[in-house]
Amino acid sequence: MTPVASIIIAVVEGLTEFLPVSSTGHMIITSRILGIETDEFTKLFEVAIQLGAILSVVVLYWNKFFPLNRKGFYLKLLVAVIPALVLGFVFSKKIDALLESPLTVAITLLIGGVILLFIDKIFQSNTIEEDEDITLKQALIIGFWQCIAMIPGTSRSAASIIGGMQQKLTRNLAAEFSFYLAVPTMAAATGYKLLKAYLDTPELLKNTDNLLALLVGTMVAFVVAMLAIKFFIGFLQRNGFKLFGWYRIIVGMALLALIYTGKL
């Protein structure tokens, strides 16, 4: 992977991680367009640079994560992340296999796009506006919704936001709780991938070029993700999810066309 390619993929990650459009799906397609081989380092890179996106959430929502004596807040995040930790570990090999499938990405982008067209109308009377009012049961259910995003192209953000709205969270709170939940979820996924690489293929992390790509990619993802989060919250307050739905549908159809014409 060239330095330029690592920066491009990191920009894509930062832009899409917290939008309901699937960062994994966009990185898979970007890698294919750039002609990057889907090898072990590419898979590691696409997960590891999420550390930058994680840090952007912590910085932007510093008052939510610190001080550390907010036991209720952290307990809800712990409960919500348990489904992803368990199912992600059990189905890790199947998930890795799906990461190589642009067709899966195209189909899930389309399905998710159709859902987002109607999500604002479906959940118009939600009343929970503060994270203090989210119960442990609701947090757990949102955690199970998040697991749908293990299918590439679904979008972790979209799945957890829809799950939050289904549990009566307002549109803005559902988006913010999705950001909070991203921190333990992505930290666990990144830590697991890095540990697995260290144990199974240590040469990947001893390669100077690989380490440089990871460092640069993480820094770029951090900066871009901060800008994307600020944009998303403002846009969501004014416009809702419909535009993201149409975007997913257009991209999904374009991908299907490229796949079936043999260009992707």
Rounded mean pLDDT, 40-69:
87
Q: Is the pLDDT of residue 98 over 70?
A: no
User: Hey, what are 189's tokens?
Assistant: 């996924």
DSSP SS3 for 65: helix
Query: What is the band of 249 on the pLDDT scale with cuts at 50, 70, 90?
Result: very high
* Residues pairing with 169 in the sheet: 128
Q: Is the dihedral of CA 57, 227, 105, 216 positive or negative?
A: negative
Contact present, 131 and 75 (Cβ < 8 Å):
no
Q: Is the pLDDT of residue 141 over 90?
A: yes
Contact present, 170 and 126 (Cβ < 8 Å):
yes
Query: Which amino acid, one-letter code, is at 64?
Result: K
Q: Can you give 87-99 as a three-state secondary structure string?
A: HHHHCHHHHHHHC
DSSP SS3 for 242: helix
Task: Quote the pTM value.
Answer: 0.88
Q: Is the pLDDT of residue 197 over 90?
A: no
At 96 the pLDDT is 66
pLDDT digits (tens, 9 = 90+) for 62-94: 988 887 788 999 999 999 999 999 988 787 777
Q: Is the pLDDT of residue 257 over 90?
A: yes
Highest mean pLDDT among 12-16, 44-48, 124-128, 205-209: 12-16
